[in-house]
Amino acid sequence: MKSICYKRIVLKLSGEALQGKKTHGIDDVVLSSISRQIKEIKELGVEVAMVLGGGNIFRGQENTASRGLDMDRSVADYMGMLATVINGLAMQDSLEKTGVPTRVMTAIEMQRIAEPYIRRRAIRHLEKGRAVIFVAGTGNPYFTTDTAAALRAMEIGADAILKATKVDGVYSADPFRVKNAKKFARLKYIDVLKKGLGVMDATAVSLCMDNKLPIIVFNLNKPGNIKRVLLGEKIGTIVN
């Protein structure tokens, strides 16, 4: 068998990825598929941490005055962080039913349902073979879960961020709307920032650039793709 390219990863999942074909909420079929893929890579010896979005339940930026709605941005962002906790608990339940021991760690303390995020404890969980799910973003408003993923990846010494999406990489335009959109096999961080490509938000990309952390963008909906990325197959887009 091929050797794995990355020993410790942060898998970034959007809330929309978890809702699957539903208009909102969580799709059990998607959860089960992700859990099976994670079990598959755990069996290769990969240490897996995850950061989940909350857009399938509540998206902070879409409920603020800047979008024509009368809600303070901080309040909306905190509500979005709580939505990620719901997703994290659902993901944990699915993973453990698949046979993957899992810990949920939250940036906003809620002792009855999740552990507080402590860097050394998170690393210890990974070393013991547990999957770790980071929820509640950074714990601060005005920061996205993309930034949380980059920050946690730096803190735990991850080798790469795997950004799971509904398309097979980064394109010059939305491939669902623009027929001749160009797919990039490889990009530099600075090109992502200059061209405004929707890989991750600018703060997250800048963090990865400063710390030389690669970002791999790939299609989550094709079973086995996480394993293919880790085995070095040429799928998706690499930003480095």
For 126-176, what is each residue's pLDDT tens digit?
A: 999 999 999 999 999 999 999 999 999 999 999 999 999 888 888 888 887
Residue 186 pLDDT: 93
For 64-122, what is each residue's pLDDT tens digit?
A: 545 556 788 899 999 999 999 999 999 999 999 999 999 999 999 999 999 999 999 99
Residue 68 pLDDT: 57
Considering the domain 8-239 in this protein, what is its CATH number? 3.40.1160.10
**DSSP 8-class letter at 100:** -
197 pLDDT band, cuts 50/70/90, is: confident
Does the pTM surpass 0.95? The reply is: no
- What are the residue boundaries of the structural domains of the chain, listed by start? 8-239
